[in-house]
Amino acid sequence: MYPEYPPDLNDEQKEYLLFNLKDWSIAHGLAVRPTPTYVPTEQDPSAALATTAPVTLFPSLFPRVCFGQAASVVNAYNELYSAIASDEAWLKDIVEELTEIDDFMANLWKVHMEVKKEGYAHTLNLGLFRSDYMVHVDPSEPKPLVKQVEFNTIASSFGGLSSQVTGMHRYLRSVDAYPESMANIVTESSLPPSTSVPGLARGMAKAHEAYGKSGSGSPTCVLFLVQDMERNVFDQRHVEYALNENHGVRTFRLPFSRVLKDTKVDGERNLIYMPPQTPQKQYEVTVVYLRAGYSPSEYEDQTAWDARLQIERSKAIKCPSVLLQLAGTKKVQQVLATPHSPHLKRFLPDEKQAADVLKTFAPIYPMDKSEAGMGARKLATDPETANRYVMKPQREGGGNNVYRKAIPDTLKNLPESQWPAYILMEMIEPPEQSNVIFRNGELQKGGVICELGMYGACLWRQGQHDGEREVLENFDAGYLLRTKGDSSEEGGVAAGFGAVDSACLV
């Protein structure tokens, strides 16, 4: 596309760019905490240290048509996934095959069933989604398209840092940190700011408002349910502060391990939060925003499941509920992407919306004993063909997939009864491009792969019957561009593979 992009910098240019980048990052909270193994040192006795988040030096080039295509389906995806999460019977059919072989899925389903037995305490649902894409060039198509990598319904991260990194690249341009040769490419109008911070905060504020008055008489708050060791805390803080500052909503951070200590569910099933630092004060929780609870490793024993149940059975609006979390599994994505399947139409009756969403699907196959599954097994066990695929279990948070040539060996060591817990997906092969990643004080220059995430917010009221619902809010909530070196299969920034980036539309 632009083979000379990004241009090489001389030593003075590099130094000028880097010192601007480092100062801007820290001044604007484009930052992360040290790794969990970090021990306080003499220079930092109270572990107050933070460092710049991994970023790209330059905004990566991204086709404007692809960005537009991804943006144009945000509302349809909000609609689609809110509809899926509202159809328990349909989800049950899909999840059933998994619960037999996957304990984590089974335990999640159990939480849902227990609450269902008692009856859900309210009908409001909040989704803060992120649909992830890569650019795909199909020789038979006149323009490049985006193809969906996955759809996230729980703990969709980097909305906080994304707004900051688009700000940083815009700033670097404005202070002439980029050489003259970029001036025609990186312009004011080619660098869209990401509105993910105000967007995600607005989603939570709308839910908070819809919850209505406190039932217990205590003041209300939004609870950020977080992991104990969180490096990516500023990403969350940006959204939290925006909720505070733009909407006047009180927020608290609660580590998942403290749910049973610091919260209780009262007789009306209000979720009451008791801050340990001010035990005389109590708050009624309107929204629980989960940035934890998506990985089996967080559920070490029954108390963690009890904690999840406590949240789920309370009246607080869960972002997400268990059903919405399950709607975001790769299995659901595979079922939707099955050619000629009736499912997409069922949830998206609007034909134009359904057709646009369909265009974003890459081929995905089950690994069960269905006809399609048997075909996929053949592809996956032959090293020649497996090389074009990625095999994914029903997991989130990065580091769980099996790529290309590693698939046949993994299957050899996996009992066949476990295979249906996975899906097989064609690798999307985006066009080659380069950038420089700044991570842990080091520069890495070379070929990169970009992944575009589109955030969407959706608030809906579940109807009396399966499939019935009323959508109260449906809006887009900014974007994320993540970039990784092209030799790494995984793309997670927090998992240590990628960097936050912004799109330079071309």
Told to check if 427 binds ligand ADP by CB under 6 A, we report yes
x-marked contacts with ligand ADP along 447-466 as a string, rule CB under 6 A: ----x---------------
Instruction: Identify which range of 21-29, 177-185, 433-441, 484-492 contacts ligand ADP by CB under 6 A.
Output: 484-492
Give, to the nearest 10 degrees, the angle between helix 103-118 and helix 88-99: 140
> What sign does the dihedral 256-325-273-261 (CA atoms) show?
negative
The reply to whether 401 sits near ligand ADP by the rule CB under 6 A is yes
- If one asks whether residue 501 binds ligand ADP (CB under 6 A), the answer comes out as no
Question: Is-catalytic flag, 119?
Answer: no
C-beta closer to Mg ion: residue 152 or 251: 152
Report the nearest approach of Mg ion to the CB of residue 130 (Å): 8
Q: Which of 157, 162, 232, 474 is catalytic?
A: 157
55/51 Cα distance (integer angstroms): 12
Question: Is 308 annotated as catalytic?
Answer: no
Instruction: Please name which of 192, 250, 247 lies closest in space to residue 219, comparing C-alpha atoms.
Output: 250
Give me the least distance between CB of 482 and ligand ADP, in Å please. 7
**Listed ranges 29-37, 156-164, 348-356, 487-495: which one lies at the site for ligand ADP (CB under 6 A):** 487-495
Is position 130 annotated as part of the catalytic site?
yes
**Locate tokens 């974007």: which residue?**
479
> What's the Cα-to-Cα distance from 30 to each of 21, 156, 202, 445, 498, rounded to whole Å?
10, 17, 21, 21, 15
* Burial annotation 175-200 (CB, 10 A radius, 16+ → b, else e): eebbeeebeebbeeebbbebbbbbbb
The residue among 240 and 451 lying less far from ligand ADP, judged by its C-beta, is 451
Considering only 53, 61, 204, 362, the residue that binds ligand ADP (CB under 6 A) is 362
Tokens describing residue 19: 């010192």
Q: Of 88-96, 143-151, 206-214, 267-275, which part binds Mg ion (CB under 5 A)?
A: 143-151
When asked if residue 327 is in the footprint of ligand ADP (CB under 6 A), the reply is no
Question: Which is nearest to 161 in space by CA: 482, 503, 489?
Answer: 482
Whole-number Å distance between alpha carbons of 83 and 470: 10
- Tell me how far, at minimum, the Cβ of 174 lies from Mg ion, in Å: 32
Q: How far apart are CA 291 and CA 226, in angstroms?
A: 5
| 3-state SS class at 226 | strand
Between CA 456 and CA 199 the distance in angstroms is: 8
Q: Which long-range contacts (CB under 8 A, 24 or more apart) does 100-107 make?
A: 101/417, 101/418, 101/420, 101/421, 102/393, 102/394, 102/421, 103/296, 104/296, 104/299, 104/394, 104/395, 105/326, 105/329, 105/394, 107/299, 107/305
| Segment interacting with Mg ion, rule: CB under 5 A, options 96-104, 151-159, 299-307, 378-386 | 151-159
- From the list ligand ADP, Mg ion, none, partner contacted by residue 202 (C-beta under 5 to 8 A by kind): none
Q: Does 152 bind Mg ion (CB under 5 A)?
A: yes
Q: Which of residues 4 and 429 has its CB atom nearest to ligand ADP in the complex?
A: 429
140 is catalytic: no
Piece of 48-56, 270-278, 348-356, 486-494 that binds ligand ADP (CB under 6 A): 486-494
Strand ranges (E), 191-345: 220-226, 251-255, 263-265, 271-273, 283-290, 317-319
With CB cut-offs between 5 and 8 Å by kind, which of Mg ion, ligand ADP, none does residue 400 bind? Answer: ligand ADP
Q: Name the residue whose CB lies closest to ligand ADP.
A: 491
8 Å CB contact between 384 and 356: no
**Restricting to residues 74-133, which ones interact with ligand ADP according to CB under 6 A?**
132
**What's the CA gap between 405 and 387, in Å, rounded?**
5
Which one of 98, 254, 425, 436 is in contact with ligand ADP (CB under 6 A)? 425
Known catalytic residue at 397: yes
The owner of tokens 């004993």 is 369
Distance CA 127, CA 321 (A): 9
- In the complex with Mg ion, which residue's Cβ is closer, 150 or 312? 150
| Residues annotated catalytic, as ranges | 130, 150, 152, 157, 330, 392, 396-397, 482
Binding site for Mg ion (CB under 5 A): 150, 152, 396
Binding site for ligand ADP (CB under 6 A): 132, 134, 149-150, 362, 390, 392, 396-398, 400-401, 425, 427-428, 451, 489-491
